[in-house]
Chains A and B, each alone.
Chain A
């Protein structure tokens, strides 16, 4: 379409240029002719002038002669004057004639001859008239007359010759002028003809282009109208018939329909139908569903994606509505499948009461217009989807917001730039102020302290800063001094970075709770335990000291029985002290305050030392403690030295407690490279532990076994504490035993 327009535009411009070129060319040559012609015209005029001048010469000669004779007869002064005038005039005419004919040599000769003759005749007449004026009788002789007559004849003869030649010249020049005029006329005729032809061509081309442009203008107009219909945001069911109306009214169609795929995409359904004037049969037939198959024309158009032209006069068995159309006077039709970005939108149908042949332009036009409509369908569909999603989202947002605002924990969200995006009501309540209008300054941590409420928090320790820097913060306890308040509060803070869809950190969120009450309760508990521990220890110190001194013989030698009794008291006292220590450990562990002080330790060395400390206890029962090393003596692991000792001591003393007399306990320390850990196992030859008891073993205050048989010396907390300590080291603790076959307690620590 565009190419053709271009062609016609070029044609117009080309013919205009050619037109000018030809006109200019013709004028160029014709100019010469016209110049020539005007020169010829000058010559003709000139010749005419000469002729006139000759005839005036002749007449003037006669005048001179006549006035001379009249004066001779009348002697009146006035005739003399007249004679003189015509005499003078004759000379002037003669001179001017010579000037006129200065280009013609033969004529000049004749004129010179004429001049001499006229002068001679004038001289004669002058002489004659002078005689008359002097009053003397002048007799005109016969010779005089003859001479006058002869000169008169000669003059006339010469004049005739001149006239004759000039006449010939005149005739010749007139002919030439005539010929030249005819040729000029011919040329002008040719120019006019060429101009006319070019003009016609231009007019035709202009007409064609105009017609095409008007078609385009029309299509633009239609497209504009359709766009304005679609822009009115009415529903598609309303908009489509209106669009069809515009198309039918402007582009000469009569009926239009739109078939759209059903929800499952398997069939086509008539979505809208429009007709300029009622087409009852055809309208009725244009309904139902069409499969996506080559069986029907619509199905075929859908399948192939190719538009189809229909001529009702030519039978097409795939087009079932042919007869209905013919009954309503429809003659031709066009089916157009429309896709938007490869997505099938539907099939548009247009039918006309005139026979419309396949026309690429019309097809293109409808494709553009229907494409616009389809685009709008798609846009509306997406928009409706978006609207739904938006309302769902805003519902969800409201829901989330009410959760966020009403939850007990404070929630604060800030972006990387430090703008607060969320500062919920609990956060305001807990912190006692609004901060939503301020900026979060990650470079300071004013009013924030570590858990001890004394050490100021470093800016990089602030949970929100850490979250914004991409770190996860879990159960971080900090102390926060509220502005204008004497006391502060303890907060337990969890923080997480917030990532955007690219996985980049967008900001951070912290969730915090006021744990001041818990902290105070904890503190009171700690104080209570500390106080109880102290209050118990003070009298125990005296008791233990007194018994120790007695046992050590500082109060003189005791009887065997006395010594046995004092030792018993001292041992029970020691047990009581251990019990107090164990209870404190359990309490700390339960409160989550049991903290390790990890250092580099040599496990074998510590195992040996713990064993050594217990040797005297073992000796009492004649139990052999045997340390077996399967580990490099220089092997180091990271663990809490005191706690490691405590674990080993617990396990070994536990084993001693239940070991039969004269038995052996193996304490094996091994390096398990393959698991990247060390393992310490304590193997006894005791009664063993049944499976049901094994599970209860590591719980607090449960001592399984022969309480009745052997004097119990433990606190019942040893295994539970050991388990807690091993777990704090990220290790494992366990027991392998069968009843009657001894027991092996073991633990592992990564290293």
Chain B
């Protein structure tokens, strides 16, 4: 299956690695900040959003709230990709409307499978 994905990360290197990782599996577009992401989302609606936690202008956890304000984007799954993976941080994410959380660093070769697992509602166990 080939869906569209919006990748939001302020680090261009990471954006590139993700894009390469998902090559062939996903049609990707990128945004480097929350503001940019929101403007992209005004013109198009991706199948899934993969967002970093820490963005220069907005926090990933706040960004999802803004995204959800748009009625068209209410149902879009948002996956958080973050380097902040301490227990209490993970706890905080679980309170929010993320489809799943992926931790940095990730294995680029299995990233696509993991995203699919999350979208199919399969957790690892």
Q: Which residues of A approach B to under 8 Å, CB–CB?
A: 529-530, 533-534, 537-538, 540-546, 548-549, 551-552, 554, 573, 577, 584, 588, 595, 609, 641
Beyond A533-B85, A534-B84, A549-B17, 16 additional contacts (C-beta under 8 Å) are A530-B86, A530-B89, A533-B83, A537-B83, A538-B83, A540-B104, A540-B105, A541-B17, A545-B13, A545-B105, A546-B13, A549-B108, A549-B109, A554-B21, A595-B87, A641-B125
CA–CA, A554 and B107, complex, Å: 13
Task: Tell whether B11 is near chain A: CB-to-CB under 8 Å.
Answer: yes
Q: Are A548 and B14 in contact, CB atoms less than 8 angstroms apart?
A: no
Cβ-defined contact, A545 with B54, below 8 A: no
How far apart are the CA atoms of A545 and B102 in the complex, in Å? 14
Chain B stretch 10-52: residues in CB contact (< 8 A) with chain A: 11, 13-14, 17-18, 20-21, 23
Least Cβ–Cβ distance between A122 and chain B, in angstroms: 165
Report chain A residues within 8 Å CB of B106.
Answer: 541, 544-545
Q: How far is the CA of A549 from the CA of B19 in the complex (A)?
A: 11
Q: How extensive is the interface on chain B, given as a class? A: 20 to 34
Contact B108 A533, beta carbon cutoff 8 Å: no
Q: How far is it, in angstroms, between the C-alpha of A573 and the C-alpha of B87 when the chains are bound? A: 22
Counting from the closest, the 3 A-B pairs by CB-CB distance are A545-B17, A537-B83, A544-B105
Whether B54 contacts A544 by the Cβ 8 Å rule is: no
B89 CB to closest chain A CB, in angstroms?
A: 8
Report the Cα distance A727→B35, complex, angstroms.
Answer: 47
Q: A533-B83, A584-B86 are in contact. Are A541 and B14 (CB under 8 A)?
A: yes
Residues in B whose Cβ lies below 8 Å from that of A573: 105
Partner of B86, one of A533, A551, A641: A533
Can you name 12 A-B pairs with beta carbons within 8 Å? A533-B85, A534-B54, A534-B84, A537-B104, A538-B14, A538-B83, A541-B17, A544-B105, A545-B21, A552-B108, A554-B21, A577-B105
Complex-state Cα separation, A529 to B87, whole angstroms:
13
With a cutoff of 8 Å between Cβ atoms, the chain B residues found around residue A584 in the complex are: 86
Q: Which of B66-125 contact A (CB under 8 A)?
A: 83-87, 89, 104-109, 125
Shortest CB-to-CB span from B82 to chain A, Å, is 9
Known contacts: A541-B104, A541-B105, A544-B105. The answer to whether A549 contacts B20 by CB under 8 A is: yes
Contact B83 A534 (CB under 8 A): yes
A554 touches B20 (CB 8 A): yes
Of A537, A540, A545, A595, the contact of B108 (CB 8 Å cutoff): A545
| Complex Cα spacing A700 to B74, Å | 48
Measured CB to CB, the closest approach of chain A to B3, in angstroms, equals: 20
Q: Which residues of A contact B83 (CB under 8 A)?
A: 533-534, 537-538, 541
Also in contact, A545 and B86, with CB within 8 A (given A537-B104, A538-B104, A577-B105): no
For B23, the chain A residues whose CB sits under 8 A away are 554
Residues of A within 8 A of B14 (CB): 538, 541-542, 545
Residues of A within 8 A of B18 (CB): 545
C-alpha gap A115/B125 in the complex (Å): 170
Q: CB < 8 Å: which of A530, A546, A548, A588 contacts B84?
A: A530
The CA-CA distance from A50 to B36 in the complex, in Å, is 171
Bound: A554/B109 CA distance, A? 9
Q: Chain A residues near B104: list those with CB within 8 A.
A: 537-538, 540-541
Q: Which residues of chain A are within 8 angstroms of B13 by Cβ–Cβ distance?
A: 542, 545-546
Distance (whole angstroms) from the CB of A560 to the closest CB of chain B = 19
For the complex, what is the distance from the CA of A584 to the CA of B83, rounded to whole Å?
A: 13
**Partner of B105 from A537, A552, A595, A641 at Cβ < 8 Å:** A537
B11 touches A538 (CB 8 A): yes
Question: Quick one: closest B residue to A531, CB to CB?
Answer: B84
Compute how far the CA of A546 lies from the CA of B17 in the bound complex, rounded to whole angstroms: 7
Q: How far is the CA of A236 from the CA of B12 in the complex (A)?
A: 102
Contacts of B125 in A (CB 8 A): 609, 641
A588, B87: Cα distance in complex, Å: 10
